[in-house]
């Protein structure tokens, strides 16, 4: 199947490679020419705009950094909507404001293109190994039609409901993640200050009601988990600035539906503070460093 793929960053590039491996014809676009060249070397065809990439494609997939990029790539003069044939499904795997998702979906529907939002979890590791989880918001018929495409890049494809619900599920998950990481950071620092060994403390929590992914799989205290970013100076992983952005999406979405989210809002501010003080590009579990004594 001929697929247009727009957005070849740290996530998009390995996802596109997995589509090539699955035998699809890929037409790709990115503003960074080196990213395009690398995919062309792997067998893809280059396009000079999202519009020309979309022309002739049976499906279109986008993976972009933020809402304004997505708006531009779909609705701009040289955008997807200007080039795509009627009936072709459009899949956006970016993590963005669900309101923007719905606005673009409405514009697409007006010209006969069904749309799905399909943000992912699993990070760059999952993108490379093809083990991402896709959280998909789409009508059932659209979901069924695009599932084989997504399955070539991930191991789980979850239907969350109508358009926008993929984004909603993603930001709700990351809300809990961002808050619970801070809770674990506070608790680990406090316990150690009170004389408890960090590994033992993590063990107690992991066997009790404090158990969470941030403690048992990604513990922020150095020396507790071998594979975690804390074991390598908080390099790699999921950056503080990305968590900042996702918690910003969560608080924005909450404001639109008038849902109080005080813990998420405070967490967003603490990652903001950590970013302002130099922690923006480190893995988000480095927030524990903000709480240390100098």
Q: Which residues are catalytic?
A: 170
Q: Which stretch binds a second copy (CB under 8 A): 42-50, 84-92, 169-177, 223-231?
A: 169-177
Nearer to a second copy among residue 52 and residue 213 (C-beta):
213
Q: Which of 2, 232, 255, 281 binds a second copy (CB under 8 A)?
A: 255
Contact pick of 7, 83, 229, 248 for a second copy (by CB under 8 A): 248
Of 59, 62, 268, 285, which lies in the binding site for a second copy, with binding defined by CB under 8 A?
268
Shortest distance (Å) from residue 138 CB to a second copy: 12
Beta-carbon count within 10 A of 249 CB? 24
Q: Which two tokens stand for residue 145?
A: 């039609």
Which among 271, 213, 261, 267 is positioned nearest to 239, based on CA atoms?
Answer: 271
C-beta of residue 247 within 8 angstroms of C-beta of residue 288: no
Q: How far is the CB of 283 from a second copy (least distance, A)?
A: 13
From the list 240, 237, 236, the residue with the least C-alpha distance to 272 is 240
121 belongs to the binding site for a second copy (CB under 8 A): yes
Residues 47/25, Cβ–Cβ less than 8 Å:
no
Which residue of 214, 240, 285, 286 would you call a contact of a second copy, by CB under 8 A? 214
Residues 54-93 that bind a second copy (CB under 8 A): none
Establish if 273 lies at the interface with a second copy (CB under 8 A). yes
Q: Using an 8 Å Cβ cutoff, are 123 and 238 in contact?
A: yes
To a second copy, the closest distance from the beta carbon of 168 in angstroms equals 4
Smallest distance, Å, CB 108 to a second copy? Answer: 18
Residue whose CB is less far from a second copy, 39 or 160: 160
**CA max distance for the chain:** 65
The yes or no reply on residue 49 touching a second copy (CB under 8 A) is: no
Burial class of 210 by CB neighbour count within 10 A (0 to 12, 13 to 18, 19+):
middle
- Is 189 in contact with 230 (CB distance < 8 Å)? no
Give the range of 35-43, 45-53, 221-229, 248-256 binding a second copy by CB under 8 A: 248-256
Both tokens assigned to 156: 């789980």
The verdict on 149 binding a second copy (CB under 8 A) reads no
Q: Minimum distance between the CB of residue 140 and a second copy, rounded to whole angstroms?
A: 14
Question: In Å, how far are 38, 72, 85, 123 from 82, measured between CA atoms?
Answer: 26, 12, 9, 31
Cβ–Cβ < 8 Å for 279, 237: no
The candidate with the shortest Cα–Cα distance to 211, out of 231, 238, 191, 183, is 183
Quick one: which of 90, 130, 270, 286 contacts a second copy (CB under 8 A)? 270
One character per residue 8-47, x = contact with a second copy (rule: CB under 8 A): ----------------------------------------
**Is 140 near a second copy (CB under 8 A)?**
no
Among 12, 14, 164, 239, binds a second copy (CB under 8 A): 164
Please state, in angstroms and rounded to a whole number, the distance separating the CA atoms of residues 128 and 133.
13
Q: Does 258 bind a second copy (CB under 8 A)?
A: yes
Residue of 248, 239, 246 lying closest to 274 (CA atoms): 239
Q: Which of residues 190-209 bind a second copy (CB under 8 A)?
A: 190-191, 193-197, 200-201, 203-205, 207-209
Please tell me the distance from the alpha carbon of residue 17 to that of residue 193, in angstroms, as a whole number.
47
């Amino acid at each position: 199947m001929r697929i247009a793929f727009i957005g070849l960053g740290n996530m998009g590039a390995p996802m596109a490679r997995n589509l090539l491996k699955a035998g699809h014809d890929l037409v790709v676009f990115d503003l960074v020419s080196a990213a395009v060249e690398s995919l062309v070397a792997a067998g893809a065809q280059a396009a000079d705009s999202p519009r020309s990439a979309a022309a002739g494609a049976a499906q279109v997939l986008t993976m972009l950094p933020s809402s304004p990029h997505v708006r531009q790539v779909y609705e701009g003069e040289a955008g997807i909507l200007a080039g795509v044939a009627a009936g072709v499904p459009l899949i956006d795997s970016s993590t963005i404001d669900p309101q923007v998702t719905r606005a673009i979906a409405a514009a697409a529907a007006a010209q006969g293109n069904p749309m799905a939002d399909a943000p992912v979890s699993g990070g760059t590791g999952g993108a490379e190994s093809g083990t991402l989880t896709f959280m998909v918001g789409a009508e059932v018929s659209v979901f069924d039609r695009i599932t084989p495409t997504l399955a070539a890049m991930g191991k789980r494809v979850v239907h969350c409901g109508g358009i926008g619900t993929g984004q909603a599920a993603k930001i709700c998950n990351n809300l809990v993640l961002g808050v619970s990481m801070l809770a674990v950071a506070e608790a680990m620092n406090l316990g150690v200050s009170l004389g408890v060994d960090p590994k033992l403390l993590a063990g107690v929590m992991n066997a009790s009601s404090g158990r969470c992914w941030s403690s048992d799989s990604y513990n922020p205290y150095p020396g507790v988990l071998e594979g975690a970013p804390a074991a390598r100076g908080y390099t790699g992983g999921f950056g503080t600035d990305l968590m900042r952005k996702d918690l910003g999406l969560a608080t924005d979405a909450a404001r639109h539906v008038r849902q109080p989210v005080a813990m998420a809002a405070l967490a967003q501010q603490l990652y903001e503070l950590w970013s302002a003080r130099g922690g923006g590009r480190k893995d988000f579990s480095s927030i524990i460093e903000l709480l240390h004594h100098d």
